């Protein structure tokens, strides 16, 4: 049998690997590539195989870089089951719908800009370099509906009239609705058939709620092959969910190949025990300046972990109880999913909250913001407060509007609590902000561009990398060495090239045969 690596190969996003056996094909993940629009658009729209050959998709977890192309897969002919944990099935419905909304909104905005530019060019006087401000306002009024909406009917009519090529969303909410019935949730450690002679079993990955390490067993021609896929391996001893599995059933132990993530293959995180004190210190410093703390975070996983830790700090009286705004309807829905799946909680969460009759994700002082009007009111709020908002890498979403109002204010703190991929706004803010701090904040602040405008980054930038939901080099090594798996070979994925190559050298030093596949590379198993 063969494994072809179609995504997250020497990069972090777009997780997708195809297992091809004599009697069928199984896809591991179907994730969205993220980063520069022009570079990712083609990769996201073009599947490198016919989806009709795939018997089943096994989904490690619901994050969009692992699940985000599922609607494309279904739209292009996939008719099988999407096997995942029950919590992943529940969360994916919200995450994919949100992704579709983003795809549609982005397409609408790009079409608006294209039509606006076309009308502006047509409206120029002969020899003029630009049109008048009055005419430009007229064009914008024609194409908009109210202060925040677009007149999509007029925009589409003008696209047709001027023979323009409209930007189409990668997929729509209707496409997501077609995909959701394919999801089939299973408990951990429960084997299920995913193809002719092919079974899989899910184990706790400890990354986010519902995340799974996948063990696939293939029987063909009297032989038995077994492939493990870590998805994203979480950290050990973090709050809320259980640690990554180290004990696997006897029949799942011997792996011919382990496909393993390597996001932090050459880095060490801050200790888990330091998260609460580090968060306390950042908040204390920010509140002393009288400013807001803006935290871009993924709606699923990181938001709930921060809510949990803030609840703990408030319960202990460790920091002033300033208002906390979770400015994400998606995060509100996913927090409810967390509340509906206490079976995945660790013992600490049961002891600290559930046994006391407390909901870890609901307490006085926290507000879930839903409407645009409420979000705008938070934008204008002065004084100390905390905002948790998507997107995690600052590539879109409501966090950008909070930045727009407060990034130029030196009282503001932007707290980075997760991985920021190359070429994202989050990475630029992190690097420029820390460089400015290292210079003593002397001279003009660095500039960052978003929402079509340059802004001075006067806000303080802090980072707590221990919040990462990915294990670091030591924790991933702990999984490889101290689990009861008998690993014959390792393929490292889901890591930028420098991290994956460094981790491969580390593992080879421990005696493991390791490869770092490139996108499109095929490995023969057996």
Together in a domain, 318 and 375: yes
Average pLDDT over residues 96-112: 91
Residue 94, in any domain of the structure: no
| Same domain? 319 vs 211 | no
Q: Which of the listed residues 432, 450, 467 is the one where a domain comes to its end?
A: 467
How high is the mean pLDDT of the chain? 92
pLDDT in tens, 433-459: 999 999 999 999 999 998 878 999 999
pTM attached to this predicted model? 0.86
* 349 pLDDT tier (thresholds 50, 70, 90): confident
**What pLDDT is stored for residue 357 in this prediction?**
63
Q: Evaluate if residue 356 carries a pLDDT over 70.
A: no
pLDDT of residue 5: 98
CATH number at residue 479: 3.60.15.10
- For residue 160, being part of any structural domain is answered with no
In this model, does residue 265 exceed pLDDT 90? yes
Percent of the chain with pLDDT over 70: 98
Q: CATH number of the domain that 448 lies in?
A: 3.40.50.10890
Among candidate residues 467, 489, 516, the one where a domain is terminated:
467
Secondary structure (DSSP) of 108-132: HHHHHHHHHHHHHHHHPPTT-SS--
| Within-domain flag for 343 | yes
Whether residue 278 sits in one domain with residue 199: no
**Peptide bond preceding 391 in cis form (omega within 30 of 0):** yes
Query: Which of the 8 DSSP states describes residue 244?
Result: P
Q: Does position 358 have pLDDT exceeding 70, yes or no?
A: no
- One domain, residues 333 and 385: yes
Could you tell me the pLDDT band of residue 218, with boundaries at 50, 70 and 90?
very high
Q: Are residues 350 and 444 in the same domain?
A: yes
400 and 346 part of one domain: yes
Q: What is the mean pLDDT of residues 230-246?
A: 93
**344 and 409 both lie in a single domain:** yes
Q: What gap in Å lies between CA 479 and CA 58, rounded to an integer?
A: 21
Q: What pLDDT score was predicted for residue 355?
A: 62
Residue 44, domain member (yes or no): yes
Q: Are residues 352 and 489 in the same domain?
A: no
User: Which two structure tokens, joined as six digits, stand for 46?
Assistant: 């073009």
Q: Would you state the structure tokens that stand for residue 405, as one six-digit string?
A: 């109002």
User: What confidence tier does 335 reach under pLDDT thresholds 50, 70, 90?
Assistant: confident
Is 136 inside any structural domain? no
Output the pLDDT for position 382.
93
How confident is residue 466, by pLDDT bands cut at 50, 70 and 90? confident
Among candidate residues 429, 446, 467, the one where a domain is terminated:
467
- Together in a domain, 411 and 502: no
Answer yes or no: is 197 within a domain.
yes
Residue 263 CA to residue 471 CA, distance in Å, equals 8
Write down the residue that tokens 């696997």 correspond to: 248
* Nearest-angstrom CA–CA distance, 21 and 357: 50
Please determine, for residue 95, whether its predicted confidence score (pLDDT) is greater than 80: yes
171 falls within a domain: no
Same domain? For 428 and 513 the reply is: no
Would you say residue 108 lies in a domain? no
Number of structural domains (the chain) is: 2
Domain that holds residue 362: 273-467
**Model pLDDT for residues 293-323, shown as the tens digit of each residue:** 999 988 888 898 899 899 999 989 999 999 9
Assess whether 193 and 305 both reside in one domain.
no
Is the pLDDT reported for residue 496 higher than 60?
A: yes
Taking 70 as the threshold, does the pLDDT of residue 200 lie above it? Answer: yes
């Amino acid at each position: 049998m063969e494994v072809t690596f179609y995504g997250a190969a020497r990069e972090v996003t777009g997780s997708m690997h195809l297992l091809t056996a004599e009697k069928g094909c199984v896809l591991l993940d179907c994730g969205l590539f993220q980063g520069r629009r022009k570079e990712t658009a083609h990769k996201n729209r073009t599947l490198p195989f016919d989806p009709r050959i795939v018997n089943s998709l096994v989904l490690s977890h619901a994050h969009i870089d692992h699940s985000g192309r599922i609607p494309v897969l279904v739209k292009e002919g996939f008719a099988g089951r999407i096997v995942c944990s029950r919590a992943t099935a529940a969360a994916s419905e919200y995450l994919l719908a949100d992704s579709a909304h983003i795809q549609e909104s982005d397409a609408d905005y790009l079409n608006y800009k294209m039509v606006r530019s076309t009308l502006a060019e047509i409206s120029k006087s002969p020899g003029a370099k630009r049109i008048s401000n009055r005419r430009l306002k007229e064009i914008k009024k024609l194409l908009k509906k109210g202060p925040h909406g677009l007149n999509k009917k007029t925009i589409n009519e003008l696209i047709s009239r001027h023979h323009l090529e409209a930007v189409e969303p990668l997929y729509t909410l209707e496409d997501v609705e077609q995909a959701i019935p394919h999801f089939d949730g299973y408990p951990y450690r429960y084997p299920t058939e995913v193809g002719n002679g092919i079974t899989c079993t899910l184990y706790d990955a400890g990354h986010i709620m519902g995340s799974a390490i996948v063990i696939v067993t293939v029987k063909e021609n009297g032989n038995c092959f077994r492939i493990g896929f870590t998805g994203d391996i979480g950290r050990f001893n973090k709050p809320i969910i259980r640690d990554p599995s180290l004990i696997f059933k006897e029949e799942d132990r011997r792996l011919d190949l382990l496909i393993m993530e390597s996001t932090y293959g050459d880095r060490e995180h801050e200790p888990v025990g330091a998260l609460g004190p580090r968060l306390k210190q950042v908040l204390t410093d920010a509140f002393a300046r009288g400013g807001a703390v803006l935290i871009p975070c993924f709606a699923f996983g990181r938001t709930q972990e921060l809510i949990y830790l803030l609840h703990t700090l408030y319960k202990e009286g460790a920091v002033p109880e300033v208002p906390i705004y979770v400015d994400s309807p998606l995060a509100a829905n996913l927090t409810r999913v967390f509340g509906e799946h206490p079976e995945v909680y660790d013992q600490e969460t049961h002891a600290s909250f559930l046994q006391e009759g407390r909901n870890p994700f609901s307490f006085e002082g926290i507000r879930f913001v839903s409407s645009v009007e409420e979000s705008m009111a938070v934008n204008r709020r002065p004084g100390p407060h905390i905002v948790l908002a998507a997107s995690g890498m600052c590539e879109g979403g409501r966090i950008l509007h909070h930045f727009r109002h407060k990034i130029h204010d030196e009282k503001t703190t932007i707290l980075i609590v997760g991985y920021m991929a190359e070429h994202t706004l989050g990475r630029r803010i992190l690097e420029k902000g820390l460089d400015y701090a290292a210079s003593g904040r002397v001279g003009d602040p660095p500039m960052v561009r978003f929402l079509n405008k340059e802004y001075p980054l006067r806000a303080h930038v802090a980072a707590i990398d221990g919040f990462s939901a990915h294990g670091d080099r030591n924790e991933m090594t702990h999984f490889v060495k101290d689990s009861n798996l008998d690993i014959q070979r390792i393929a490292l994925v889901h890591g930028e090239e420098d991290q994956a190559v460094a981790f491969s050298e580390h593992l080879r030093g421990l005696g493991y045969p390791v490869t770092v596949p490139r996108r499109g590379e095929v490995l023969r198993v057996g």
